[in-house]
Amino acid sequence: MASSNLTIETLKKMFAEGKRFDGRDLLEHRKLSVETEISNTAEGSARVRIGKTEVIVGVKMAMGEPYPDSPDRGNLTVSADLLPLASPRFEHGPPGFHAIELPRLVDRAIRESHVIELEKLVIKEGEKVWTVYIDVYPINDDGNLIDASTIGALLALKTAMVPELDKDGKIDYDKKATKKLPLAKDIIPICFTFYKLGNSLLLDPTREEEEACDVRVTFGLSNPKDYLINSCQKSGKTPFTQEEIDKIMDTLPKKYDEINEKLKKFL
């Protein structure tokens, strides 16, 4: 849903002056709050709120065949269910662009960080492995769903348990799981999506701000020591200048540390 020209021009002028309607700086996040283990049926789950944006993420596990190109590793699948309940931008029917793009960006940030030790999810090499399903459910979309969903996926994975098997090798849901999903200890994948309107860069936009922007770029970072960039995707035709990219590169480590610090007690 596109913004009106008046809204775009008003926001462009405000951003140029370093102002936002809610009083934040252009690179300042809204309040972040997190809950984990909110589902009794998922192997892992989390609820993330960034401002008024709210996302629930669940992790389920099932047994199946490995992918042909990775017989010695488990599988990972990410999906998103974008319901009209969450936003007027979402409609019933076949998945639209956002419903396809969102899980792909979350998948890339998680997969390329190698936070899930997929090689430890092999039950019988070449025949049977665990598949990790990450399901994203936006409850309210007030902007910045990508970053919120990635945080939700990370926290849901951190709480996930591997189901127990019975004597026939089938999942026994009556037996209490005791083994955590194998995750790399020091890898913390977090996404940061920078938006641009005119000559201004901003983080964590509200939906109104997001819809007015010309372009965005999402970086998936991991590793608190080296700030590794594992994924990057740009959307929109407007280019970023070299100076803007330099500013983004300078901002990323600071924002990674800021969000990582807020998540520490859950990690």
pLDDT in tens, 121-159: 999 999 999 999 999 999 999 999 999 999 999 999 999
Q: Outline where 29-94 has alpha helix (H).
A: none
Query: What single letter denotes the amino acid at residue 67?
Result: Y
What is the model's pLDDT at position 93? 57
Residue by residue, DSSP assigns 39-101 as -SSSSEEEEEEETTEEEEEEEEEEEEPPPTT-TTS-EEEEEE---TTT-TT--SSS--HHHHH
pLDDT of 160: 97
Spans in the chain with pLDDT lower than 70: 1-3, 90-99
Whole-number pLDDT of residue 2:
56
In angstroms, rounded to a whole number, what is the distance separating the alpha carbons of residues 73 and 117?
8
Residue 10 DSSP symbol: H
Q: What is 5-266's CATH superfamily?
A: GHMP Kinase, N-terminal domain (3.30.230.70)
Predicted local confidence at residue 169, as pLDDT: 81
For residue 4, what pLDDT is reported?
72
Question: What pLDDT is attached to residue 82?
Answer: 81
User: Crossing angle for the helix pair 242-263 and 145-159, nearest 10 degrees?
Assistant: 40
pLDDT at residue 228 in the model = 95
| The predicted structure's pLDDT at residue 92 | 61
Q: Helices 145-159 and 97-113 sit at what angle, rounded to 10 degrees?
A: 50
State residue 90's pLDDT score. Answer: 66
**Look-up of token digits 């047994």:** 63
**Among residues of the chain, what percentage have pLDDT more than 70?**
95
